[in-house]
Structure 1
Amino acid sequence: MEDEPPSSRFFGFLGRKRSEEVVLEQVLSREAYEEYRQLLMKARPEVDGSKLVIHLPEGKIELEKDSLKVRAKNRRVAEKILRNLHHYESPPSLWPAYGLSYSIKRKRRLIL
């Protein structure tokens, strides 16, 4: 690579594939679903029927009737999010220390 001109090294980076999103899925019982639902409601999730979605800075948590899915850019981050979910029981001021946050929904104002 040292023999190649700098411009060809730059174009080599463009051809590389970006790492795909990692999804960790956990199958839940009815009782586990109810416990996770109570826990995740503290983070103000987006609610779509029985599905809850929480957007985090480095990933996303999706809770459905039969499964819990954690989506992140790599496996290490996804495992960290899954490992730290129980910290939603602590006060919200401590959440950023564990990589968690509120899922803030913003509605656009309509100007007539």
Structure 2
Amino acid sequence: MNSSILSEGIALTLSQWSALQLAIRNQWGGVDSLQKSGQLVAELFSFFSSSRVSLCIDDLENLLYENMVLSFNTDIEDGSIEEVAEGLMILYEECVQGNYESIEKLRKSRYGAKNLSNHPVGC
């Protein structure tokens, strides 16, 4: 598995998460909201890079939820945490198999999305 591609995929996924992007733009986590989003990318990468035998999506959802509450003072109840967690799990599983198709799709959609291109996460 290519670690830098996984990290890029995580950042691209978060760059398309509307709730997080609103939190960054509106500085719900303070003036260092963009930096906090970069820390979230690092935490997620660490989650996937850990030596656990199997990863649990519930743990990933909890990590995302806690980070949004603690870092951005935002309680997300729109179902997007579960969607983002599922997307990240799929991305990780594909990366483990050497399949980077989802990341390519994210790259194409990111560079085609005008509203998100000014707010990259983790870059």
TM norm structure 2: 0.28
Highest RCO, 1 vs 2 (Cα 8 Å, sep ≥ 6): 2
Q: Which of the two has higher C-alpha Rg?
A: 1
Higher helix share: 2
